[in-house]
């Protein structure tokens, strides 16, 4: 417990100090969005339930082909409104957003940056679309790379001609009933997406963000039940972001902390209570945690 209190105190005093030099100030040209949920099994009911979710953004500034981890934030839920608030934390309007077909993300983006003709374009991750297409081909027994359909699928998301060639070939194949249904489901969306693809920033996948979310899970998973204070976990996630962006320099952090202490006459700029304030649900008498829905 003492060790945990020491870490909490350090985060409270110095988390923002070491993170400030690398804080992002606006959304970049292209934003990739994804999240990862942390769950637990109720020992009484044996049902799985969500503890919290970590929302993430990978950003590509104009002219930067690699990008970096732009933002991490833990929340009790990941509804449309949560994503809207996540996107509201920074100013700016990207030229494009990339995500999976996550309705909460899509809804949050539309709430933040509009719908229709003047909206920020939402580009569905091409790699995940390819995987779903290959799954459909597999159910039809046509997944072998020696056949024409997998080769056509590989290029289907890059241009209207590519999608049309794949869709036409699938329609002509009498044994591809499951793939035909898959194409029918996606046809309108893919014709629109491939038509505007060339006008968007050249980032079409969530692939850069996914391994970083795996790294976040590696940091939090074993202690996920202990995280109940939202503000504190988000300070920790900011340090995780710095680490994943290779800004975790102990010497540099020590210099920043020393300058901060000197600037405040050696006194604490943010004195912390011995324990966190407690909020009780008047209906149940249970304690309410800021990281639990």
Q: Which is more confident, 52 or 49?
A: 52
User: For position 292, what pLDDT does the model report?
Assistant: 65
In-domain check, residue 274: no
In-domain check, residue 276: no
In-domain check, residue 38: yes
With 90 as the cut, is the pLDDT of residue 206 above it?
yes
Encode pLDDT of 121-170 as tens digits: 999 999 999 999 999 999 999 988 667 999 999 999 999 999 999 999 99
User: For position 288, what pLDDT does the model report?
Assistant: 61
Answer whether 162's CB lies under 8 Å from 156's CB: yes
Encode pLDDT of 161-202 as tens digits: 999 999 999 999 999 999 999 999 999 999 999 999 999 999
Residues above pLDDT 70, as percent of the chain: 90
- Residues 116 and 137 placed together within one structural domain of the fold: no
Q: Which is more confident, 124 or 269?
A: 124
Concatenating the DSSP letter of every residue in 86-131 gives: HHHTS----SEEEE-S-HHHHHHHHHHH-SGGGSPPEEE-HHHHHH
Mean per-residue pLDDT, 58-66: 96
With 60 as the cut, is the pLDDT of residue 281 above it?
no
In-domain check, residue 135: yes
- Residues 48 and 10 placed together within one structural domain of the fold: yes
User: For position 176, what pLDDT does the model report?
Assistant: 94
- Residues 149 and 187 placed together within one structural domain of the fold: yes
- Residues 49 and 185 placed together within one structural domain of the fold: no
- Residues 164 and 115 placed together within one structural domain of the fold: no
Query: Which residues, including other chains, have CB under 8 Å from residue 22's CB and lie 6 or more apart?
Result: 242, 245, 247
In-domain check, residue 190: yes
- Residues 208 and 191 placed together within one structural domain of the fold: no
Query: Which residues, including other chains, have CB under 8 Å from residue 267's CB and lie 6 or more apart?
Result: none
Q: Please choose, from the candidates 2, 68, 75, 39, the residue with its C-alpha nearest in 3D space to the C-alpha of residue 237.
A: 75
Q: What is the rounded CA–CA span in Å between residue 60 and residue 83?
A: 19
- Residues 87 and 221 placed together within one structural domain of the fold: yes
- Residues 54 and 90 placed together within one structural domain of the fold: yes
With 60 as the cut, is the pLDDT of residue 277 above it?
no
Q: Give residue 36's domain range.
A: 2-121+203-263
With 90 as the cut, is the pLDDT of residue 237 above it?
yes
Number of domains in the chain: 2
- Residues 57 and 185 placed together within one structural domain of the fold: no
With 50 as the cut, is the pLDDT of residue 1 above it?
no
**Any idea which of 36-45, 117-126, 215-224, 263-272 has the lowest mean pLDDT?**
263-272
User: For position 154, what pLDDT does the model report?
Assistant: 95
Decide which of 169, 197, 225 is a domain's last residue. 197
Q: What is the rounded CA–CA span in Å between residue 46 and residue 269?
A: 45
- Residues 210 and 138 placed together within one structural domain of the fold: no
In-domain check, residue 225: yes
- Residues 13 and 111 placed together within one structural domain of the fold: yes
- Residues 33 and 148 placed together within one structural domain of the fold: no
| 3-state DSSP assignment of residue 277 | coil
In-domain check, residue 285: no
In-domain check, residue 292: no
């Amino acid at each position: 417990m003492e060790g945990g209190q020491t870490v909490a105190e350090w985060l409270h005093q110095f988390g923002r100090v070491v993170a400030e030099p690398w804080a992002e100030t606006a959304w970049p040209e292209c934003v990739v969005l994804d999240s990862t949920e942390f769950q637990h099994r109720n020992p009484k009911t044996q049902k799985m339930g969500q503890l919290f979710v970590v929302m993430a953004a990978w950003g590509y500034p104009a002219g930067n082909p690699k990008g970096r981890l732009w933002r991490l934030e833990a929340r009790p839920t990941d509804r449309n409104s949560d994503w809207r608030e996540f996107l509201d934390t920074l100013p700016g309007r990207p030229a494009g957003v990339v995500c999976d077909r996550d309705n909460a993300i899509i809804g949050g983006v539309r709430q933040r940056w509009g719908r229709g003709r003047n909206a920020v374009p939402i580009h569905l991750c091409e790699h995940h679309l390819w995987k779903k297409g290959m799954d459909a081909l597999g159910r039809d027994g046509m997944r072998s790379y020696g056949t024409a359909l997998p080769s056509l699928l590989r290029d289907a998301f890059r241009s209207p001609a590519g999608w049309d060639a794949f869709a036409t070939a699938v329609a002509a194949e009498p044994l591809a009933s499951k793939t035909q249904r898959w194409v029918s489901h996606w046809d309108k969306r893919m014709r629109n997406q491939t038509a505007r693809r060339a006008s968007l920033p050249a980032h079409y996948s969530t692939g850069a963000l996914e391994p970083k979310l795996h790294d976040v899970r590696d940091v939090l998973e074993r202690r996920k039940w202990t995280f109940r204070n939202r503000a504190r976990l988000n300070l920790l996630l900011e340090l995780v972001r710095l680490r994943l962006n290779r800004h975790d320099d102990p010497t540099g952090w020590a210099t920043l902390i020393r300058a901060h202490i000197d600037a405040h006459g050696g006194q604490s700029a943010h004195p912390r209570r011995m324990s966190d304030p407690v909020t009780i649900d008047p209906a149940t008498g249970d304690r309410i945690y800021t990281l639990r829905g």
